[in-house]
Amino acid sequence: MPRLARLPIVSLSLTGSAALLFGLSGAPAAARSPSDASQPIVAGREVSQGPQYRPLPAAATTALRTALSTADEKERLAQLRSLQNATREDRALQRDIECLLPVVESWAEGRKLAAAGKLAAPHEYLRAAVSATQPPAIREDSPLYPLFCLYRGRHLVWTGLQRASSSDSGNDAAEHYAEARRLFAEARTLVPDNPILNLYLGQPIPWPAPEPDAQAPAWANSQRVILTHLDEIARFWIKERQLPDGSFGGGWAGDAELWREWMPVLLAFENPDAMRAHALFAKSAGGAGTLTPTPSPRPDDRASAHHDLAALEASLARTAEALSMNRAAFTTEVRATDRAFSFTAAYLNTFVEPKLPVPDTRTVLRAVGGETGSAPGARSATVRWLTPPRDIAALVKKAGPRELEAQLYNFSQRFTIMGMETFHLEPGRYLVTLYNDAGEVDVEFPLNSDGTSNKTYFEIAPRTLYTVRVTSEK
């Protein structure tokens, strides 16, 4: 891999529009003598000769400031175009903008370009942002040099993430990551208020989550954070990334892997938007790793699910912590859908200490839906709760061909009609019993199972822990 020249950042003393850039950090410009005023210097070294950057007008300064510091790619693109229009006479800056615009457009408008048929591989428009488009090097005294560092660093990270799983990649990914961090650190020295640079340099960015409920068990509070944020992730991808044919920009097989991480909110709860989005994807994918959206274990696959509660609570707590930071790493920054949940484990944890927690969505599915599949790629559930994956927590403690036991906690401030759809019960007569947090029977009624799916409904009170048991009458 060609390596960029290494320039240590110690002090900065620049003229014209470059001086405006470095003023963003609040550091005063170093005094310059008249004899050296014509030679821009970066870290004590002369930069390459060429057209000089002109002082920026006020409107251009604002556009530059926003383009460098925003975390919103569409806003960055808009400000970069505004900067281009406001500096037509600055040949040096115009060249830099022209170098950067294609890659910024790819990040900001990839879906739009794919939907309009302007890309050679529209189903891989996210990958194209790092594999097919990267900025050529620009002068290090350029006001836009931090943007070159940002996009070149992103290219290296996401290329490295895709190579990290390859057995013959050697230290390729590690080299990509090291060079990327050097570029990110260089850019952050110049633009310290860009949150994306902090993300890639291992500084966790808090992701606001629901406050813990003092009356709820620990597993329920953890699960509430997980489900709220998994649902938020799924909604982002459906709204901001899905194309009219159902694909998400990472290639059909990669997109199928993305769906696996959403299984807790797709299989275990009533989620019409996600179900419609998956149906559209499955229809177009032609079997390229698609997942069946309806939980339907085969009769000979039915198995009992019994949990080690302490281990499960610990796993849920770690996943809740993992999904309480770095939202962008699961959404806006992702450029490989089969690595959408790999950023922390495969990149950040190669250099941060202590290691950050990583999400385990399969354990979440076991908890909320009684998932019993054993194959690495398989996902199934023995029960679906007929309610959205918000303000509810469910812990399936037992799930066998003739029994079901689960705990439910309603975070809502009102009584809620709760639906339950079972998929695993053998044909026969069953008794459904709902116990309140005092261990008293709240309601009890019969259930006839035909061996496929069975729906029942009952009411649960706010901020109350319930246990529901389904037992055979044989």
Prediction pTM value? 0.86
pLDDT value at position 377?
A: 53
Which tens digit of pLDDT belongs to each residue from 379-418?
688 999 999 999 999 999 999 899 999 999 999 999 999 9
Average of pLDDT values for 86-103? 95
Spans of all domains in the chain: 12-200, 218-360, 383-472
Count the Cβ atoms, other than its own, within 10 Å of residue 453. Answer: 16
Which tens digit of pLDDT belongs to each residue from 130-163?
876 678 899 999 999 999 999 999 999 999 998 8
Average pLDDT of the residues of the chain: 85
Q: How far is CA 85 from the centre of its chain?
A: 34
How many whole angstroms separate alpha carbon 9 and alpha carbon 281? 48
Q: Please state, for a pLDDT cut of 70, what percent of the chain lies above it.
A: 81
pLDDT value at position 31?
A: 30
At the topology level, CATH places domain 383-472 in Immunoglobulin-like (2.60.40)
pLDDT value at position 130?
A: 85
List Cβ neighbours of 405 (8 Å cut-off, separation of 6 or more). Answer: 396, 397, 398, 399, 467, 468, 469, 470
Cα–Cα–Cα angle for 58, 59, 65, nearest 5°? Answer: 90
Average of pLDDT values for 158-175? 75
- pLDDT reading at 273 higher than 90: yes
- 216 backbone dihedrals φ, ψ, rounded to 5°: -85, 150
Beta carbons of 180 and 133 less than 8 angstroms apart: no
pLDDT value at position 164?
A: 72
- Angle at which helices 58-69 and 145-164 cross, to 10°: 20
- In which element (H, E) is residue 157 found? helix 145-164
- pLDDT reading at 373 higher than 50: yes
Q: Residue 429: helix, strand or coil by DSSP?
A: strand
Least confident of 58-67, 179-188, 279-288: 279-288
- 37 backbone dihedrals φ, ψ, rounded to 5°: -65, -25
Strand ranges inside 357-453, DSSP E? 383-385, 392-400, 403-410, 416-422, 428-435, 441-449
How many whole angstroms separate alpha carbon 60 and alpha carbon 21? 11
pLDDT value at position 307?
A: 65
Q: Which residue has the tokens 């198995």?
A: 303
pLDDT value at position 289?
A: 44
Which tens digit of pLDDT belongs to each residue from 1-30?
333 333 332 222 233 334 444 443 333 333
- pLDDT reading at 335 higher than 50: yes
- pLDDT reading at 32 higher than 50: no
- pLDDT reading at 43 higher than 70: no
Average of pLDDT values for 277-296? 68
Beta carbons of 346 and 158 less than 8 angstroms apart: no
